[in-house]
Amino acid sequence: MSDDISPERQKEMIEQAAQYIVSHDLEDMAIIALEGTAPFGTVVGELGIMMSYPLAVTFFNNFGADFVKMFGFNYQENAESLIKRIEELVEEKRREELKRKELERELGNNNDGWLSRIRSWFRG
């Protein structure tokens, strides 16, 4: 971890990145990319700083700069932390979806989508 990024800031950035990834349904792509590059942590981290720092600062200001620094200095550990948090959020999202479907079933609203609505129109 970089000397100028506190552990609290590091956790906050991992949480924000994980929330963004899961909310935009990018978890599969992110996990594949992170797990695929984690074994090459030092090389990927150093190249990542050189390649992405200018863009991160341009588009995301201080958050982008801190995020690139955080991943660049300890890529493997931070990638594993991000993967773990993404998996936790995906599990929470899955549980909420199951609860929502169960509630819909209990309320009698078991329409599966537009096709089932069209079928019900033709049936009467």
Residue 17 lies in a domain: yes
With beta carbons less than 8 A apart as the criterion, state whether 45 and 112 touch: no
pLDDT band with cut points at 50, 70 and 90 for residue 1: very low
Q: Does pLDDT of 2 surpass 60?
A: no
Residue 113 lies in a domain: yes
Q: CB atoms < 10 A from the CB of 37, how many?
A: 17
Q: What is the pLDDT of residue 111?
A: 55
Q: What is the pLDDT of residue 124?
A: 58
92 to each of 10, 13, 65, 95, 112, how far by Cα in Å? 22, 19, 29, 5, 22
Residue 90 lies in a domain: yes
Is pTM beyond 0.85? Reply is: no
> Which amino acid belongs to residue 83?
I
Residue 1 lies in a domain: no
Q: Does pLDDT of 92 surpass 80?
A: yes
User: By residue range, what is the domain housing residue 11?
Assistant: 7-123
Burial class (CB in 10 A: 0-12, 13-18, 19+), 89: middle
Q: Does pLDDT of 3 surpass 60?
A: no
pLDDT band with cut points at 50, 70 and 90 for residue 90: very high
Q: How many domains does the chain have?
A: 1
> Which amino acid belongs to residue 14?
I
Pairwise CA distance, residues 48 & 72, whole Å: 6
Spell out the residues 6+ positions from residue 5 whose beta carbon is closer than 8 angstroms to its own: 66, 69, 70
With beta carbons less than 8 A apart as the criterion, state whether 72 and 46 touch: yes
In the chain, what percentage of residues exceed pLDDT 70?
87
**Residue spans of beta strands (DSSP E) within the chain:** none
Residue 2 lies in a domain: no
Q: pLDDT tens for residues 34-81?
A: 888 777 777 766 776 777 777 777 777 777 778 777 777 787 888 899
Residue 68 lies in a domain: yes
For the segment 72-100, the average pLDDT, to the nearest whole number, is 90
